[in-house]
Structure 1
């Protein structure tokens, strides 16, 4: 006999999708800021003949700036029944939200441990998922998200390992630019991204 879907998992699905969109927004902000011309320098440019993608710069930020960008971006997605924040702490990327059901306010938490991979992708390892103080099974929640969510191709979920990989280089844009994570160090408050142009 099938259990009735209470909508609880759907809240987690939307929470996860919004977190992914927030990270995507950060990537878009980086790309947009790096593609805006400050002055005409085209006459100084040397033609590049290499077929390899070219590194054209580096973008450095910190947790405070990241938190400001995330708060601004996510402001429009708050509702009366579901509100949340995404915050970079000294160790984790913390998704903290609340939703109302049967007149009760239920707190939701997802703790992600961020790291960079050798190819410049971002690895988010789920440390814990909970509703209030009740821990939820990471593998089951992530398996549901993987099967039910229409995630972008650059997002890879491995429910057995409880990880999410954001393949930054696969994010498409008209400028043919992409970023690679160089340093993801929340403890020392250092976030560095290398900017590349596709050949």
Structure 2
């Protein structure tokens, strides 16, 4: 037979077990809640990044200009290297982007590279977009996107190009095509003083050989002769 003291001790052990059980259960529940909150935060952050990049702030009604076929005579043949072209690009973009909140860089190495940033949750994320340049028959230059470096974020090139098209201040003669991952440098739309225009002839970045021609418009001689005739008559 069990004594009263033994029964008392047994009762105390049972009470202790009953008291411990809710604490363990509460501890497990807290970990579950913390895990669910963490997963929700990660999913929410990824969703925010995707929506931020793919959203359209306003419709893009900018019409694509038709190709302008220019007749003329090549008057200056330029053969240059990447170092000189990069200096020219830096000078042009520094002046073009004055007053802009979002800036970017474009330069040539063994590939053409676009370097810029966009913000995610208030933090700037830097990206490098690499292109292969191709000279087209009409003298324009097509940049075909080939790879993207953007830290640990796995975003497709198409979405980055959409961001560039939407948020970056670009010259009117630069055409971004996210669907086929290209940027077209519309030299046929580029204007120089006195009507001079440029056509690309060759771009070989590996051998550091870049060539282009500056053309005199076909009707420039007629305009010059007309001006001379008016001066003589006066």
Q: CA deviation at 1:131?
A: 2.5
Distance 1:133 1:69, change over 3 A: farther
Is 1:112 paired with 2:93?
no
Aligned to 2:40: none
Residues in 2 aligned to 1:193 and 1:104: alpha-carbon distance in whole angstroms: 41
Residue number among 154, 174, 197 corresponding to 1:155 in the alignment: 174
> What does the per-residue CA deviation read over 1:46-94, in whole Å, with 9 as the maximum and x for residues that have no partner?
xxxxx94111111121011122223344456599x8665433112x111
Instruction: Provide structure 2 residue ranges, at least 5 long, that are not aligned to the other structure.
Output: 1-46, 55-69, 219-234
The alignment partner of 1:132 has SS state of coil
The alignment partner of 1:55 has SS state of strand
Residues in 2 aligned to 1:54 and 1:170: alpha-carbon distance in whole angstroms: 18
Q: Given that residues 84 and 95 in structure 1 are in contact (C-alpha distance below 8 angstroms), is that contact kept between their aligned partners in structure 2?
A: yes
The alignment partner of 2:179 has SS state of coil
Aligned to 1:56: 75
Q: Given that residues 184 and 192 in structure 1 are in contact (C-alpha distance below 8 angstroms), is that contact kept between their aligned partners in structure 2?
A: yes
Residues in 1 aligned to 2:172 and 2:104: alpha-carbon distance in whole angstroms: 25
Distance 1:192 1:151, change over 3 A: same
Task: Specify which structure has the higher proportion of helix.
Answer: 2
Aligned to 1:22: none
Instruction: Provide structure 1 residue ranges, at least 5 long, that are not aligned to the other structure.
Output: 11-50
Q: Given that residues 49 and 120 in structure 2 are in contact (C-alpha distance below 8 angstroms), is that contact kept between their aligned partners in structure 1?
A: no
- The alignment's TM-score, normalised by the length of structure 2, stands at 0.53
The alignment partner of 1:142 has SS state of helix
Alignment RMSD: 3.8
Q: Given that residues 124 and 165 in structure 1 are in contact (C-alpha distance below 8 angstroms), is that contact kept between their aligned partners in structure 2?
A: yes
The structure whose Rg is larger is: 2
Is 1:86 paired with 2:106?
yes
Residues in 1 aligned to 2:87 and 2:193: alpha-carbon distance in whole angstroms: 26
Stretch deviating more after TM superposition (64-73 or 185-194): 64-73
Distance 1:132 1:57, change over 3 A: same
Distance 1:56 1:135, change over 3 A: farther
Is 1:68 paired with 2:93?
no
Residues in 2 aligned to 1:167 and 1:83: alpha-carbon distance in whole angstroms: 21
Is 1:187 paired with 2:203?
no
Q: CA deviation at 1:108?
A: 1.3
Q: CA deviation at 1:128?
A: 2.4
* Higher RCO by CA contacts (8 Å cutoff, separation 6 or greater): 1
Residues in 2 aligned to 1:196 and 1:83: alpha-carbon distance in whole angstroms: 32
Distance 1:135 1:179, change over 3 A: farther
The alignment partner of 1:175 has SS state of helix
Number of equivalenced pairs: 157
